[in-house]
Amino acid sequence: MLKALRRLLRPLALAVATGRADPPAPRPRALVLRVPRSLGLLPFDRVDLVVLADLILAAILLAGGYVVLENANRVTEASLDWQGLYMAAAVNSLPLLLRDKWPLAAWRLAAVGIPIGTSVTGELLPIPFTAPGTITFTLALYSVAVRCDRSITLGVWAVSIAGAALLRPEGTLLAVLVVTVTVLLGYNVRIRRDATRLLADEEERTQIAMAARAVLEERARIARELHDVVAHHMSVIAIQAEAVPIRSAGDPAALEAGLAEIRGLSLAAMTEMRRVLGVLRDQDGRRDTAPQPGLERLGELVEQTRAAGLPVTVSAPDPPPALPAAVSLSAYRIVQESLSNVRRHAPGAAVTITIAHSPAALSLEIANTPPPAGPPRAPADDAGRAPGHGLLGMRERASLLGGTLRAGPRRDGGFTVTAVLPVGDPPEEEPEREREGTG
């Protein structure tokens, strides 16, 4: 019995005293106006049209409410003076100024205006509201239904009907109709907003899942390429191991040189293997058997890009620096993907490729100007590529080498990609990190 009584009283307590409304939803752009900077003396830079409408309506209802109450006061010969009339009118209009931020407080204040209005209007109206009070109370009730959960809304509905029945029994039916329709309209809006928010959350989770899948696919592609690099090193080691005894022919110096070469190749293979650990392979096991390119083929890539209609300028060390195979491969792929992005998104723009080498790192910068004005030119055909994840793949390549990659727009409307790739051994914690990623 007590449990049922608590369930019955809880919505009423929430409505009257303890309930809290949800924060206001983000306002659509169409309902927010920017104040021109030429009016810089104003203390605000945006105007919320909903709040402005409430302010204007409150002023109109304040004046209109005073007129209505004054006429009712005269007809009923009530004893309220003009101060009392203004106070009654204010109670019937001020809730509009609260309903956007505090809808429950607005409803409670509007409910207080009921007996004040009734004491003035007497028996003139079939419901215990003046016309301004009816408008204010209805808007406050609608805001509660939109911004409060079901328990609070149910309590507000019950209190509103009970109050109307107590103040004016003969107007109960009309009050029930107005209150119920208003609550249903507001609650329907709340349900639609909740559904829209849930759909947006689901779409966001889907985008996150797609991005994670793109990372795995890119890591798989990188793993296949690095696998080929390691396989090349191991093949050379095997050939050298067979050839060294024959070439040395008992010469200790030749044998020592051959073994040193094998050791160098073994260390290089171990370094590349550390990079490939933990990078997942595609389940279908497909492999690209084409030779993996490096910066030594940058000239070919630049010529192909120029032939596609992009003016490209290159600033790079001459002769090209000796780089680990994985670094050279990743640098080539980053430049290749950057040029592809320019062809897709800024056809006709001028591109500048800057490559700098130090004992510690290889630096890349691929910058393009804004596309030329005029009709857009058709971008190059990138059939067979998965669009939308180019920057993601480039960042993944740099990260696997222990490097960094930044990309973003320039002030002139162009775009810049900057990468720093270490040329030494990968970080010691990388194998452990990658091993955890595969578990």
> Which of 98-102, 105-109, 117-121, 157-161 is predicted least confidently?
117-121
Do 215 and 386 contact (CB within 8 A), yes or no? no
Most confident among 167-176, 265-274, 345-354 (mean pLDDT): 345-354
pLDDT digits (tens, 9 = 90+) for 8-64: 666 677 777 777 777 777 777 777 777 666 555 556 667 778 778 888 888 888 887
Query: Residue 155: which of 10, 340, 277 has the closest Cα?
Result: 10
Q: Cα angle vertex 250, ends 249, 251, to 5°?
A: 95
CA neighbours closer than 13 Å in the CB half-sphere of residue 292: 25
Do 368 and 350 contact (CB within 8 A), yes or no? yes
33 bridge partner residues: 47
Do 19 and 155 contact (CB within 8 A), yes or no? yes
417 bridge partner residues: 366, 407
% of residues, the chain, pLDDT over 70: 68
- Backbone torsions φ then ψ of 136, nearest 5 degrees: -65, -45
Write the DSSP string, 244-274.
Answer: HHHHHTT-HHHHHHHHHHHHHHHHHHHHHHH
Counts of helices then strands in the chain (DSSP H, E) = 13, 7
Query: Is 200 strand, coil or helix?
Result: helix
The structure tokens listed for 15 are 């409505």
Does 394 score more than 60 pLDDT? yes
> Tell me, what amino acid is at 265?
L
362 bridge partner residues: 357, 421
- Helix (H) or strand (E) segment spanning residue 90: helix 82-91
Q: Where does the pLDDT of residue 322 fall: very low under 50, low under 70, confident under 90, or very high at 90 and above?
A: confident
Higher pLDDT pick, 117 / 296: 296
- Helix (H) or strand (E) segment spanning residue 355: strand 351-357
**Would you state the pLDDT for residue 7?**
66
Domains contained in the chain, CATH given: 2-167 (no CATH), 295-371+388-438 (3.30.565.10)
Q: Check: pTM over 0.85? Answer yes or no.
A: no
**Would you state the pLDDT for residue 137?**
85
Q: Cα angle vertex 174, ends 172, 178, to 5°?
A: 115
- Backbone torsions φ then ψ of 415, nearest 5 degrees: -150, 145
pLDDT digits (tens, 9 = 90+) for 261-278: 777 777 666 666 665 554
DSSP label of 349:
-
Query: Is 160 strand, coil or helix?
Result: helix
> Which of 276-285, 307-316, 351-360 is predicted least confidently?
276-285
Q: For the chain, percent helix, then strand, then coil, each to nearest 5?
A: 65, 10, 30
Does 364 score more than 70 pLDDT? yes
Contacts of residue 280, Cβ cutoff 8 Å, sequence gap at least 6: 216, 219, 220, 223, 438
d(CA 307, CA 349): 14
